[in-house]
Structure 1
Amino acid sequence: MRHRYEDFREAGAEVAVVSFAQGRTLERYASDLRIRFPLLSDPARNAYAAYGLRKGSFWKIFGPETAWTYVRLMARGRRFRGMQADPFQLGGDFVIDGQGIVRFAHRSEDPADRPSVERLLEAVREAAG
């Protein structure tokens, strides 16, 4: 998504990442990935609970499908620091309009389960109107 940040801006969106990581861990993440959009820390995971983001089972987190996804990412040059904090916490992707209404919600079923950037851009354009 970081490579398409300007596309999101042109579509009228502001992108933000919410993480339960804090301080230096969050700073390293932003630096390593060269993220230009805001990173917000939610160590109590209030946003995770409010948006219905669950924790994954051992098999979902460490199973072959997830492992294969990370192998492909590493083959493309992505580096990983190993497990950080809680590997079982699943994420999600949301498009929220100017009135605070969730117009698109994707709650991940495993760490590799994310909508495509194109799908997110489509949702942003639909929410914009």
Structure 2
Amino acid sequence: MPILHFQGLLDSQSARVLVISFGCREGAQIWLDQTGCKYDMLLDPERKIYKAFGLGSSYSNVMNFDSLLQYAEYVVLGQEFPDIPPRFLEDFYQMGGDFVLDEGGTVILSHPCKNPMDRPEVAQMVATISSVGRPTSF
């Protein structure tokens, strides 16, 4: 389930959620509007943050059978996807990730995505935020 469904749970933590995109301002605003995302977004057009976290672009991770099957299942179930105009789709193959940093900037949870739908459980993220324990990697 997308992280936006858990916004109240995340907001109850002493944490700040920041969405990072490499796209242009217009495309990012369309995505924010269509998804209802209320979190702050930082644009990283040179992908410096993506590179710092080791996130590359991968045709094989996006276009593999399992990913395409998962997309098809979402379509069959009526899952809506943001309808971003093609002129704003800069790199369909850019891989994302989810990371939790403590107040000092130390990564305490690291989850580089294996495919576009791969996300950690929000409960695990909240537990990590709550415990602020040793770094976790998935």
Asked whether the two chains share a fold, i.e. TM above 0.5, the reply is yes
Separation in 1 of the partners of 2:117 and 2:62?
Answer: 9
For residues 78-97 of structure 1, what are the structure 2 equivalents within 5 Å?
A: 78-81=80-83, 84-97=89-102
Q: Which runs of 5 or more structure 1 residues have no equivalent in the other structure?
A: none
Residue 49 of structure 1: aligned partner: 51
- State the Cα deviation string for residues 62-113 of structure 1 (Å, max 9, x = none): 1121112222333243124366210121001000011111101011122122
For residues 1-129 of structure 1, what are the structure 2 equivalents within 5 Å?
A: 1-56=3-58, 58-74=59-75, 75-81=77-83, 84-127=89-132
CA 1:5–1:39: 2 relative to 1, 3 Å: same
Q: Which runs of 5 or more structure 2 residues have no equivalent in the other structure?
A: none
- Greater alpha carbon shift after TM alignment, 23-32 vs 106-115: 106-115
Separation in 1 of the partners of 2:63 and 2:19?
Answer: 23
TM-score, with structure 1 as normaliser: 0.89
CA 1:128–1:119: 2 relative to 1, 3 Å: same
How many residues align structurally? 128
Q: Which amino acid aligns with 1:4?
A: F
Report the 3-state secondary structure (helix = DSSP H, G, I; strand = E; otherwise coil) of the residue aligned with 1:40.
strand
For the 8 Å contact 2:100–2:107, the answer to whether it is kept is yes
For the 8 Å contact 1:5–1:15, the answer to whether it is kept is no
- State the Cα deviation string for residues 20-45 of structure 1 (Å, max 9, x = none): 01111000000000001101110000
Separation in 2 of the partners of 1:79 and 1:94?
Answer: 23
For the 8 Å contact 2:108–2:133, the answer to whether it is kept is no
CA 1:36–1:128: 2 relative to 1, 3 Å: farther
| Aligned alpha-carbon RMSD (Å) | 1.9
Report the 3-state secondary structure (helix = DSSP H, G, I; strand = E; otherwise coil) of the residue aligned with 1:5.
helix
Identity %, equivalent residues: 24
Separation in 2 of the partners of 1:27 and 1:80?
Answer: 11
